[in-house]
């Protein structure tokens, strides 16, 4: 309770100008995470340290080669700019970032919306070049931080609606919901996108001792452990630590083949208690291991000797509200970075799934995310900018992979009457490797976006991910009934807790028996 009151006090502290409270500025004060994102545009210290903005790149592939650009621009103007954050202009005041929302009629749509003719030659490589150019451009901080490019006449037919959105506008929950609102959906159908809601997680089927130790570790990690994370070693999927701050704008972006969502659900259904996320994390785990093996990465030796781990970070939604419409209007960044250690010492494909499930279940009962959001947020609001710069430079060195996930409609949809053929979503953050899960119209795929400084073999990595899926599918098909049941992966700490409790109970009973016998005598 004291922690909650402290954080509330910090968040409600008014920004002062000339010693007087400024309630109007306080109303527009950016949250801690938004503040850190937007400083890449408006802070000289961030620019001097070459800290690039964190952006989200979203692609809508349309089947029509020559859609009416005016219709699409009008739809964007009507459905997107109605949200204050898409009309926000950021500035520094009182030592922190604040924002103003300009009137809708003053939006410069010529700046935000451009059209390119692919002339029948633009392919994936061309789109990567366009995206890299967009990422290398310096944002005009006097305008809202987003742009859209419509590329018509693609080489393989169709057209592309390419979005570049700065993360300061909002997190994945809010931005995804806004962009999906462009689809020609029946009124009220946005509620179907379950991934956009803050839902109560079902209590995982863990032993009581596992839940207790996971809860206790979550308390430690949420208050202190997040600042003491053991850094991932240099490896073939990570920008070398000594070059991380010099992140290039060059990106390789590839996709796996499409997987059937129904097939993934069948696999999940055969493995008692697993979720689709467990299957996806197992694909990543197996794929990473196979890539290290095929490239003879020296990091495998330290992993096998349990000296080092390879970890992934992801955005954990910490919103309290469940209504989708309210979540959209709230906008902003309401997440904290989660931490997932890949169980690379798995015995086989099924063992990888069960180990990923066990780790995920531990996170579901852990208070780490909420505690970290409040504790870290309260601390960061008090730090000088030099400390924030250090954190922005140092934090990407801790992890190897950044993860994202977007669930689109599982039926064919359209934008302004133009059929949507496919969609993709990727975060371009200060990590070398970004992996995103995207599903649409009954198909799922994995997007791999790698910085050129990593120097990895992206086609080989894609092959390893596809092979990992095949390994899991084949293992499930050939498994016995016993192998399809979850094994006991209760951690040693939980078993020690059980042993200590059992010993205490036995000791107490023995002592009580002796005491009663002595009194009877």
Q: What is the pLDDT of residues 216-226, one digit of tens each?
A: 888 888 888 87
Model confidence at 171, in pLDDT bands (50, 70, 90)?
confident
Q: What is the CATH number of the domain that holds 217?
A: 3.30.559.30
Res 2: pLDDT: 38
Residues 36 and 100 in one domain: yes
Nearest CA among 257, 319, 310, 275 for reference residue 464 = 257
pLDDT digits (tens, 9 = 90+) for 248-279: 666 777 889 999 999 999 999 999 888 888 99
Q: What is the mean pLDDT of residues 149-156?
A: 91
Q: Are residues 448 and 498 in the same domain?
A: no
pLDDT in tens, 44-54: 888 888 788 88
pLDDT over threshold 50, residue 13? no
User: What pLDDT score was predicted for residue 16?
Assistant: 35
**Average pLDDT of the chain to the nearest whole number:** 81
Residues 388 and 513 in one domain: no
Cα 138 → chain centroid: 24
Percent over 70 (pLDDT), the chain = 86
Quick one: pLDDT at residue 246?
56
- The domain tally of the chain equals 2
- Which pLDDT does position 228 carry in this prediction? 80
In tens, the pLDDT along 371-397 reads 888 887 777 777 788 888 888 878 888
Question: Does one domain contain both 500 and 370?
Answer: no
Domain identity same for 367 and 486: yes
- Do 519 and 386 share a structural domain? no
- By the 8 A CB rule, do 249 and 135 touch? yes
The percentage of residues in the chain with a pLDDT greater than 90, rounded to a whole number, is 29
Are 116 and 151 within 8 A, CB to CB?
A: yes
Q: What does the alpha-carbon distance between residue 429 and residue 317 come to, in Å, rounded to a whole number?
A: 18
On whether both 78 and 100 belong to a single domain, the answer is yes
Question: 9 by DSSP, 3-state: which?
Answer: helix
278 and 169 together in one domain: yes
Q: Which is it for the CA torsion 36, 42, 44, 49, positive or negative?
A: positive
pLDDT for 21 equals: 38
Q: For residue 139, report the phi and psi dihedrals to the nearest 5 degrees.
A: -65, 145
Cα-based distances in Å from 178 to 83, 105, 216, 246, 284: 8, 19, 37, 32, 28
Question: Does 506 share its domain with 430?
Answer: no
Do 471 and 363 have their domain in common? yes
> Over the stretch 311-345, which tens digit does the pLDDT of each residue have?
998 888 776 654 455 555 556 777 788 889 999 99
Q: What is the pTM of this model?
A: 0.84
Residue 204: per-residue pLDDT: 66
Residue 340 confidence (pLDDT): 92
Between 318 and 106, residue with greater pLDDT = 106
Are 372 and 406 found together in one domain? yes
382 and 466 belong to one structural domain: yes
Domain that includes residue 500, residue range:
492-521
Q: 187: pLDDT confidence band, cut at 50, 70 and 90?
A: very low
pLDDT exceeds cutoff 70 at 127: yes
**What pLDDT is recorded for position 321?**
52
């Amino acid at each position: 309770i004291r922690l909650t009151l402290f954080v509330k006090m910090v968040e409600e502290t008014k920004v002062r100008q000339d010693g007087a409270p400024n309630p109007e500025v306080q109303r527009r004060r950016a949250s801690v995470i938004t503040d850190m994102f937007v400083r890449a545009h408006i802070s000289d210290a961030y620019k001097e340290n070459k800290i690039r903005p964190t952006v989200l790149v979203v692609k809508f592939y349309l089947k029509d080669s020559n859609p009416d650009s005016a219709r699409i621009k009008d739809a964007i103007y009507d459905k997107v700019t109605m949200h204050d954050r898409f009309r926000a202009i950021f500035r520094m005041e009182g030592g922190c970032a604040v924002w103003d929302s300009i009137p809708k009629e003053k939006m410069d749509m010529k700046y935000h919306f451009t059209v390119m003719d692919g002339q029948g030659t633009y392919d994936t490589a061309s789109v990567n070049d366009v995206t890299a150019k967009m990422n290398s451009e310096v944002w005009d901080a006097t305008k809202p931080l987003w742009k859209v490019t419509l590329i018509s006449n693609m080489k393989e037919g169709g057209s592309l609606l390419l979005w570049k959105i700065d993360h300061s506008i909002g997190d994945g929950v809010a931005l995804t919901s806004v962009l999906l609102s462009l689809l020609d959906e029946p009124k009220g159908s946005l509620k179907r996108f379950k991934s956009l809601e803050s839902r109560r997680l079902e209590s995982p089927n863990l032993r009581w001792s596992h839940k207790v130790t996971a809860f206790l570790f979550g308390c430690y990690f949420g208050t202190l452990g997040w600042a003491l994370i053991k850094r991932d070693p240099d490896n073939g999927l990570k920008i070398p630590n000594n070059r991380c701050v010099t992140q290039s704008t060059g990106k390789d972006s590839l996709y796996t083949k499409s997987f059937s969502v129904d097939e993934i659900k069948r696999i999940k259904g055969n493995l008692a208690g697993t979720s689709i996320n467990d299957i996806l994390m197992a694909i990543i785990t197996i794929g990473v291991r196979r890539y290290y093996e095929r490239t003879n990465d020296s990091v495998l030796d330290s992993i096998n000797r349990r000296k080092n781990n390879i970890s992934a970070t992801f955005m954990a939604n910490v919103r309290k509200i469940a209504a989708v419409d309210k979540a959209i209007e709230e906008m902003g960044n309401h997440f904290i970075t989660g931490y997932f250690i890949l169980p690379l010492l798995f015995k086989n494909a099924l063992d990888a799934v069960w180990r990923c499930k066990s780790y995920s279940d531990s996170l579901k009962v852990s208070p780490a995310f909420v505690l970290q959001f409040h504790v870290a947020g309260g601390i960061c609001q008090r730090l000088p900018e030099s400390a924030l710069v250090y954190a922005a430079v140092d934090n990407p060195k801790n992890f190897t992979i950044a993860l994202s996930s977007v669930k689109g409609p599982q039926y064919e949809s359209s934008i302004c009457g133009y059929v949507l053929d496919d969609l993709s979503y990727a975060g371009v953050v200060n990590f070398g490797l970004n992996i995103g899960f995207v599903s649409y119209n009954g198909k799922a795929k994995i997007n791999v976006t790698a910085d050129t400084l990593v120097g990895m073999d992206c086609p080989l990595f894609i092959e390893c991910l596809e092979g990992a899926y095949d390994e899991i599918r084949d293992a499930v098909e050939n498994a016995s009934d016993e192998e399809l049941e979850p094994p006991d992966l209760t951690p040693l700490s939980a078993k020690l807790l059980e042993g200590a409790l059992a010993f205490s109970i036995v000791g107490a009973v023995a002592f009580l028996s002796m005491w009663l016998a002595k009194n009877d005598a």
